[in-house]
Structure 1
Amino acid sequence: MNLALWISAGLLAVVLLVGGATKLIVSKEKLAAHPAGGWTGDASVGFVRVLGAIELLGAVGLVLPAALDIAPVLVPVAAVGTVLLMVGAMITHLRRHESRSAVGNLVYLALAAFVAWGRFGPESFTG
């Protein structure tokens, strides 16, 4: 189970890292032109950038605290934050009738919920 939790956290970290870096680096116009990025046309540049920074912090929080053994309790906290982030993403995509993106967010939400459950519960780093 520990291996499955590490793999899940790693996959989520990669998704958040790529998504966050993209939101920070790519222009809002290019993001809005992407099929899953249409929502950025309705959001301010500042909001998109802040969301990208939050995603980068989530990616770091899912892996580094446990890997470095510095405050590993932050891993399930980051996973809960990712669950909340994915709920917001799903709501946004469903309101825009982008069901494919919402399904992807549901998969990420399930992975994050698994990591949160596993790291708060049976495979906790604290004992």
Structure 2
Amino acid sequence: MNLVLWIIAGVLAAVFLGAGVMKLTQPREKLVSSGLGWAEDFPPNVVKLIGALEVLAAVGLILPAVLGIAPVLVPLAALGLVLMMIGAAVTHARRRELPAIAVNVVLLALAAVVAWGRFGPHSFTA
């Protein structure tokens, strides 16, 4: 199960690192025109904040455990992603973007598994 949690955390980290860097480096207008229509509902600074939180979560899923420094940050990062995906699903539901909600639910479930596993039976302190 430990290997499965590492794989899920790695996949989540890759997804959110890519998404976060994209939000941090591209202007909001380009994000909207490239398919992230929800970004037009938020000020540019909020979109950048979301990107920064995604990058921090990606780093938090991997580095604390790899370095052995404060590994409790791994499940906390996963819990943060669960909360972000709830917010994302609500935003997409308001915009009636059903395919995006499905992606949010899958990412939420994967993050919840990591949070459960690392807070519980497969924590790094065991």
Q: Distance in 2 between matches of 1:34 and 1:103?
A: 19
The CA deviation string for residues 20-67 of structure 1, in whole angstroms up to 9 with x for no partner, is 0000001111101123x1011111010001111111000000000001
After the TM superposition, which residues 36-51 of structure 1 pair with which residues of structure 2 at under 5 Å, given as runs?
37-51=36-50
User: When the two structures are aligned, how many residues end up with a matched partner?
Assistant: 126
The residue type paired with residue 67 of structure 1 is V
> Structure 2: 5+ residue runs without aligned partners?
none
Q: Distance in 2 between matches of 1:13 and 1:84?
A: 16
Q: 2:105 maps to which residue?
A: 106
Q: Distance in 1 between matches of 2:86 and 2:108?
A: 7
Question: How much is the aligned-residue C-alpha RMSD, in angstroms?
Answer: 0.6
Q: 1:59 maps to which residue?
A: 58
In the alignment, structure 1 residue 21 sits paired with structure 2 residue 21: yes
Q: Distance in 2 between matches of 1:91 and 1:57?
A: 22
Q: Distance in 1 between matches of 2:64 and 2:3?
A: 16
The residue type paired with residue 118 of structure 1 is G
Q: Distance in 1 between matches of 2:79 and 2:117?
A: 11
Query: SS at the partner of 1:122?
Result: coil
User: Following superposition, which runs of at least 4 residues in structure 1 exceed 4 angstroms of deviation?
Assistant: none
Question: 1:116, CA displacement in angstroms?
Answer: 0.3
Q: Distance in 2 between matches of 1:74 and 1:41?
A: 32
Q: 2:125 maps to which residue?
A: 126
Q: Distance in 2 between matches of 1:52 and 1:65?
A: 20
